[in-house]
């Protein structure tokens, strides 16, 4: 191997997760969120897999992402830009055929002005803020828009949407409060499809409006608390670069932040924080060798990690021996928990230095008759 580790991406599992979400939220449709280069796994390949499963709506975050992805999509697949329009970006968005999520009266005014200037109708999505205080029209701007519907002249509203702040916690009362407010606002746009739920929202015990925007669950991350119903999509395997035996009391790594309390075998693997493996996992994370949990000892370096493999059978220890970082014994969510973060962050930071293997979808996965 010329890379520090092998990242396996299972697109069959991705397709299966999409189908699972479709069954979960039916009769709502499931849109694929492919921002951040498909959560780091390759937006074009992710999009092609989802389209093969019947997906007809895709979301990115930035117009620059749409610029790269749109030419690789069939012309009839809408591509929405979640962060909307920065001033001056209107003409490029229209030329691409991307659909902006309009998050403010200012964005609406600029998009409508371009439509008027060209005497055309432009597609758009209206996002309203129902309590997250992030993207979307706040209450006063919603009121102004409802009082003057002419502000939307020249805009073909394809969708009205909002975003849940606490969907990963089904017991949080904010979920119901946001849904009620969203429903009240959306009722003022009776012929426009509605979208509120994300991955966590897909598993809330209520209806799911018209479109659900699937993100982390589609990529195998847990959509909320409790057992994860999704199939794992990635596996990450490193190889032992060096083995050594050190006496009791010896320090390991930068700052000698760990000292072994017995004669120990230390394995070094060529993965580090430059590969997206969080530095905070030093002296707290782990890996698996031959099914045995081995702790990270010492600090995570830019290009290497040291593991205490003293309890691993000798037959499994040799230069080039496999080391599981994400896989059957250690899930993406488990790594995130050890790092004090969320699976989204681990997934989207996985390095391009890894050698990547794509498990191609089988013919049966491409059979649209399997889509609920």
Q: Tokens in use for 32?
A: 């694929």
Burial tier of 317 (Cβ tally within 10 Å: 0-12, 13-18, 19+): middle
Smallest Cα–Cα separation from 197: which of 224, 221, 220?
224
Element (H, E) at 99: strand 99-102
**Bridge-partner residues for 80, per DSSP?**
59, 99
Query: Can 70 be counted among the known catalytic residues?
Result: no
Cα–Cα distance for residue pair 19/37, rounded to 1 Å: 21
Other beta carbons within 10 Å of 364: 10
**Is 254 in the active site?**
yes
Q: Please state, in angstroms and rounded to a whole number, the distance separating the CA atoms of residues 24 and 230.
A: 12
Instruction: Work out the burial of residue 295: count CB atoms within 10 Å of its CB; fewer than 13 is exposed, 13-18 middle, 19 or more buried.
Output: middle
Count other C-beta atoms under 10 Å from residue 61's C-beta: 18
User: Considering only CA atoms, which of 269, 327, 336, 337 is closest in space to residue 300?
Assistant: 269
Specify whether the CB–CB gap between 85 and 63 falls below 8 A: yes
Which of the following is catalytic: 18, 35, 39, 273? 35
Backbone dihedral angles phi then psi of residue 349, each to the nearest 5 degrees: -100, 0
- Indicate which residues carry an active-site annotation: 35, 254
């Amino acid at each position: 191997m010329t890379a520090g580790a092998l990242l396996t991406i299972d697109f069959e599992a991705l397709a299966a997760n999409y189908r699972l979400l479709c069954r979960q939220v039916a009769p709502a449709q499931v849109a694929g969120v492919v921002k951040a280069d498909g959560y780091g796994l390759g937006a074009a390949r992710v999009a092609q897999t989802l389209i093969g499963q019947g997906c007809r709506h895709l979301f990115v975050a930035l117009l620059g992402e749409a610029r790269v992805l749109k030419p690789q999509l069939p012309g009839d697949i809408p591509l929405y830009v979640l962060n909307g329009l920065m001033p001056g970006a209107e003409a490029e968005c229209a030329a691409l055929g991307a659909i902006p999520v309009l998050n403010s009266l200012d964005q609406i005014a600029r998009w409508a002005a371009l439509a008027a200037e060209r005497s055309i109708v432009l597609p758009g999505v209206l996002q309203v803020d129902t309590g997250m205080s992030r993207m979307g029209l706040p209450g006063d701007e919603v009121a102004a828009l409802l009082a003057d519907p002419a502000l939307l002249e020249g805009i073909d509203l394809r969708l009205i949407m909002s975003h849940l702040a606490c969907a990963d916690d089904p017991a949080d009362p904010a979920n119901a409060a946001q849904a009620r407010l969203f429903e009240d606002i959306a009722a003022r746009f009776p012929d426009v499809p509605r979208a509120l739920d994300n991955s966590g929202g897909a598993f809330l015990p209520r209806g799911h409006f018209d479109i659900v925007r699937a993100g982390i669950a589609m990529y195998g991350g847990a959509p909320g608390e409790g057992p994860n119903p999704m199939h794992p999509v990635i596996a990450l395997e490193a190889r032992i670069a060096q083995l050594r035996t050190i006496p009791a009391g010896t320090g390991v790594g930068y700052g000698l932040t760990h000292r072994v309390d017995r004669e120990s075998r230390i394995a070094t693997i060529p993965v580090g924080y430059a590969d997206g493996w969080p530095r905070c996992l030093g002296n707290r994370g782990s890996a698996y060798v031959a099914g045995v949990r081995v702790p990270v000892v010492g600090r995570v370096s830019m290009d290497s990690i040291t593991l205490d493999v003293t309890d691993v059978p000798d037959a499994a220890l040799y230069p080039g021996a496999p080391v599981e970082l994400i896989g059957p014994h250690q899930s993406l969510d488990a790594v995130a928990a050890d790092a004090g973060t969320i699976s989204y962050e681990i997934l989207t930071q996985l390095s391009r230095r890894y050698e990547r293997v794509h498990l191609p979808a089988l013919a049966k996965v491409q059979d649209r008759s399997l889509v609920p």
